[in-house]
Amino acid sequence: MVLAASSAGAGARGKTIPVNTLPPEIAGNAVVGQNLTATTGEWQGLGTHYFAAWQRCDASGGNCASVDTTGLSYTVSSSDTGSTVRVVVYATNKNGTASASSAPSPLVAGGSVAPPPPVAPAPTNLNAPQITGTPAIGGTLAASAGSWSGSPSSYGYHWDRCSDTGSNCAPLDGATAASYAVGTNDAGATLRVTVTASNASGTTNATSPATQMISAPPPVGGGGATVPTNTALPQISGTVQVGQSLAASQGSWNGSPVSYGYQWQRCDSAGANCSALSAATASAYVLTSADAGATLRVTVSATNAIGSAAAVSAASAQVPTPAAPPSPAAPGTVPKFGVAVGGNVQWLSSGDLSSTLDGMKSMNAGWIRFDLPWNVAEPTKGAYDWSVEDTVVKAAHARGIRVLLMIGYTPPWARSSACPGDDKCEPANVSDYATFAQAAVKHYATLGVEAYEIWNEPNLGSQFWKPRANPTKYAALVRAAYPLMKAADPSATILAGALAPSPDTGTDMSSTQFLKAAYAAGLHGYFDALSDHPYYGPNSVNTFENWSAWSQMSQDTSYGPSLRGQMVANGDGDKKIWGTEANMKLSSTCVDGFCATPQRQADMITEAFASWKSYSWSGVLFTFTYHGNAPWQLTNDDWSPTPAWGAFKASAG
């Protein structure tokens, strides 16, 4: 309602109606859905009271009409689109009422303010940088940036000088361009380059393989002594077939070399576009599946007291593609043991991936478990990228190894506001995860993946389900995802749990208490098998201990009823427990006279596998991990087998 000003005129002080001295003002965004706020302005006149009414005006601020809103706040509606808005403030005292209007707002824009675009993750290297050019004094080397996800906006370069074997590297001052001129100080060394990729979220480094050793120049002056000179090129012999060994001859040299070095390279089918194979620096080389379709050559470096020189062999014949491998084991003969390799296997070089999978196959591993990171595969809602995981799935199946994919870790657009900067943050909406999980199963069903795990260690709020363990929300996540995943592939095995050994801390929950709460929240009926991480050692897995994850699977402890007991009590007694991570960590720890040595690690694998085979409720047991994590790995840093590797092979066969 609009009130007219009183007719009382000006008189003595205290007998006048209010007089406006500063008009009201409007603050805020004139956008549909946003709030505008108004000041009352400034007035003269004793005992003054105020109220406000809002008006919608034309684009020039005229022809105003009241809207049904009073007070000093106004929410812009779609009816205001294309108009302006103003506020009229009425000031009242005992002598009468006066009004004053604000200036009109800017023209109202339709729609709400668009949210900021999602923040892309920092760059991730997909293929390492490579060095091309002439690795000799006076030559010029050039570095490629490699390939990256995360759309880097810039690249930086830094060159290192390394020993003749590619180790003990040190940065070269000022060598920060994409190219490098080889100088006399590089003689007898190798070179590598580190590329730094940057975007708005951060920076990531990736390092190239080292070059072959840089040849020293001939000495200046007389004396007759020179660096070695090649008179007959090195030769490659052996059967050019995956799994067979090639051998390199030294070739013939003048200058009486006292030592020889070797560097094998993989080339295209025509013998060109060669790249060095990391760690392939012996006179013999075993061909892997990654060599199929390629050719090989070897660089031999000859060294004497004066210096070194290099000579390159002719390329080998093209390595034939092996015959189709056997299919994974038929239903009813599901392998009992596998290897959990975590979230790094898809970023390995092709050579290291082949070494990993070939080694797993050799030691009778029937399964591989690795991460399908939601934050990588769906960085933007509804846009999927399966490429790096596809490579591992296909390579594993090519060797008859079955695949369990752990689906977890939240992209920026789907994270809870409680921890927006962390991919281990719980999802804000469980339906977003369920939609992604269904898309993943639909895609990987066509590639033969048989099993999926819903998240990793959600009972650890300090690590994998931030900001704190939440069994109720995890149960809701499983209840949302399981029906969609089974609809995408009814034959798939869907695992829930992925429970880790832990005390109850408030942020973390023990596996038994977490499962109890998840059952209370409706977990029953929404999984095909329960997954657990029964790490053990160094004492016997068959020795009852309250803190032992192995004991907690089937025996009640002070932490609560056993996992198996809870499954039976909740009607899931017909389902298996899969141990999706297990092993004993190497350390100086000793328990009951048993110390965590490499041999004890091997003995524990033998004992654990034998016990696992005896349990009627056991599914597949995965050992963590194959390579790249020294306290747990089944191979040494140089890829040679540990005692645990041999124990796995003997026990899983």
- Would you say 625 and 634 are in contact if contact means Cβ atoms under 8 Å apart? yes
pLDDT for position 355 = 92
DSSP string, 489-539: -TT-EEEEEEE------SSB--HHHHHHHHHHTT-TTS-SEEEE-----SS
Contacts of 54 (CB under 8 A, 6+ apart): 66, 67, 69, 70, 74, 85, 86, 87, 88
* CATH class entry, domain 229-312: mainly beta
pTM of the full structure: 0.54
Backbone angles phi, psi at 609, to 5 degrees: -65, -40
- Would you say 511 and 552 are in contact if contact means Cβ atoms under 8 Å apart? yes
- Would you say 298 and 260 are in contact if contact means Cβ atoms under 8 Å apart? no
pLDDT for position 52 = 86
Backbone angles phi, psi at 230, to 5 degrees: -80, 135
- Consecutive 10-residue averages of pLDDT for the chain (653 residues): 34 68 90 89 81 88 85 88 90 83 87 55 87 82 89 92 84 90 84 92 89 66 68 90 85 89 90 84 84 90 85 90 52 82 88 93 96 94 91 95 96 89 92 95 93 97 95 94 92 96 94 96 95 94 90 92 95 96 93 91 95 95 94 92 95 89
- Per domain, the residue ranges of the chain are 19-101, 124-207, 229-312, 337-652
Degrees to nearest 5, angle at CA 130 with 125 and 132: 160
Compute the radius of gyration of the chain from its Cα atoms: 35
What distance, in Å, lies between the first and last C-alpha atoms of the chain?
89
Q: Which residues pair with 174 in a beta bridge?
A: none
DSSP string, 380-408: BTTB---HHHHHHHHHHHTTT-EEEEEEE
- Would you say 157 and 177 are in contact if contact means Cβ atoms under 8 Å apart? yes
DSSP 184: G
What distance in Å separates the CA atoms of residue 433 and residue 454, rounded to the nearest whole number? 10
Dihedral angle computed from the Cα positions of residues 589, 592, 596 and 597, in that order, rounded to the nearest 10 degrees: 120
In 163-270, where do the E strands start and end?
170-171, 179-181, 190-199, 202-207, 229-232, 236-238, 245-248, 252-254, 259-267
What b/e string do you get for 194-227 counting C-beta neighbours within 10 Å, with b at 16 or more?
Answer: bbbbbbeeeebebbbbbbbbbbbbeeeeeeeeeb
246, two tokens? 């090639």
Per CATH, the number for 337-652 is: 3.20.20.80
What distance in Å separates the CA atoms of residue 419 and residue 642, rounded to the nearest whole number? 40
Whether the ω angle into residue 538 lies within 30 degrees of 0, i.e. cis, is yes
pLDDT for position 157 = 94
Q: Which residues pair with 149 in a beta bridge?
A: 124
Q: For residue 608, give the H/E element and its range.
A: helix 598-614
- Would you say 311 and 251 are in contact if contact means Cβ atoms under 8 Å apart? yes
Q: Which residues pair with 30 in a beta bridge?
A: none
Identity of the residue numbered 96: G
- Would you say 550 and 500 are in contact if contact means Cβ atoms under 8 Å apart? no
- Would you say 141 and 190 are in contact if contact means Cβ atoms under 8 Å apart? no
pLDDT for position 164 = 79
What distance in Å separates the CA atoms of residue 461 and residue 394, rounded to the nearest whole number? 33
Among 252, 220, 248, 222, residue whose Cα is nearest residue 235:
248
122, two tokens? 């920092």
Per CATH, the number for 19-101 is: 2.60.40.2700
Instruction: Indicate the angle between helix axes 350-362 and 387-397, nearest 10 degrees.
Output: 30
Instruction: Indicate the angle between helix axes 471-488 and 511-520, nearest 10 degrees.
Output: 70
- Would you say 403 and 396 are in contact if contact means Cβ atoms under 8 Å apart? yes
229, two tokens? 């000179």
Other C-beta atoms lying within 10 Å of the C-beta of residue 40:
20
Q: Using DSSP, state whether 549 is helix, strand or coil.
A: helix
Q: Do domains 19-101 and 229-312 have the same CATH topology?
A: yes
124-207 architecture in CATH? Answer: Sandwich (2.60)
Q: Using DSSP, state whether 37 is helix, strand or coil.
A: strand
354, two tokens? 């082949």
Q: Quick one: 498 exposed, middle or buried, by C-beta within 10 A (0-12, 13-18, 19+)?
A: buried
Residue whose token pair is 């389900």: 465
